[in-house]
Amino acid sequence: MDRIALSHKLEDGRWQCGLCPHACVLNEGQVGICHVRKAEKNGIRSLVYGEPVATHIDPIEKKPLNHFLPGERIFSLGTLGCNLRCRGCQNDGLSRAHYASMGTKISADRIVDAAIQAGCRMIAYTYNEPIVWAEYAYDIACVAKNAGLKNVLVTAGFIQTNALEWFLEPFDAANIDLKGFSESLTLIVIFTFICKREKRIITTAGINTAG
């Protein structure tokens, strides 16, 4: 997907973001609810592209995934920003921060090189919500995939369907955090965990379960 396709111009000249369901409508110079996507002349741009603020090597079980390459270490990174405001966020220093430039950009190639140098066979897109830095995560994941690494997404899954179809392609596994409950969501949980309908639910969420 062309990056500009993630936003479109409205008749009144403002830009609308097509990435998450907030669908922020922004005048040039304004940033969205996530604090890290800004309307500019040619569309809405990710401010945090190339600017990870946290990198670490974690056990895969911390993501938490218990049945995907168990026992392995995973190179993990995150940026600033989030499109949700959950009470009790354990990473609010990152998720609620306002953007300030690091001054330097770190390319997707350099992230993958760092993971390989560290002896990791996987990269996790985590710590803050990767959906708000989708372009950077996607580019890293594509380079990683070409290098034979696996990609793990740690997300709340709050994303528009069109963007989801584009975004998921290079990922191999995902942890989708449940951030709240409603009657309909409770039904999904019952179907998922009690009725053993994992595949139907996950497929509905747009994740390829083949292979």
Residues that bind ligand SF4 (CB under 6 A): 17, 19-20, 22-24, 32-34, 37, 83, 132
Q: How far is the CB of 79 from ligand SF4 (least distance, A)?
A: 13
C-beta closer to ligand SF4: residue 5 or 195: 5
C-beta closer to ligand SF4: residue 112 or 132: 132
C-beta closer to ligand SF4: residue 115 or 163: 163
Q: How far is the CB of 195 from ligand SF4 (least distance, A)?
A: 32
d(CA 71, CA 59): 7
d(CA 171, CA 8): 26
Q: How far is the CB of 147 from ligand SF4 (least distance, A)?
A: 28
Q: For ligand SF4, which residue has the nearest CB? A: 32
d(CA 165, CA 162): 5
Q: How far is the CB of 168 from ligand SF4 (least distance, A)?
A: 16
Question: Which residues, listed in sequence order, are joined to residue 76 by a DSSP beta bridge?
Answer: 56, 124
Q: Which two tokens stand for residue 42?
A: 């040619």
Pick left, alpha or beta for residue 139 (phi over 0 → left; psi -120 to 50 → alpha; otherwise beta): alpha
C-beta closer to ligand SF4: residue 167 or 171: 167
Please tell me whether residue 142 adopts helix, strand or coil conformation: helix
- Determine what percent of the chain falls in helix, strand and coil, rounding each to the nearest 5: 30, 20, 50
C-beta closer to ligand SF4: residue 20 or 140: 20
Give residue 161's Cα distance to chain centre: 14
Q: How far is the CB of 209 from ligand SF4 (least distance, A)?
A: 26
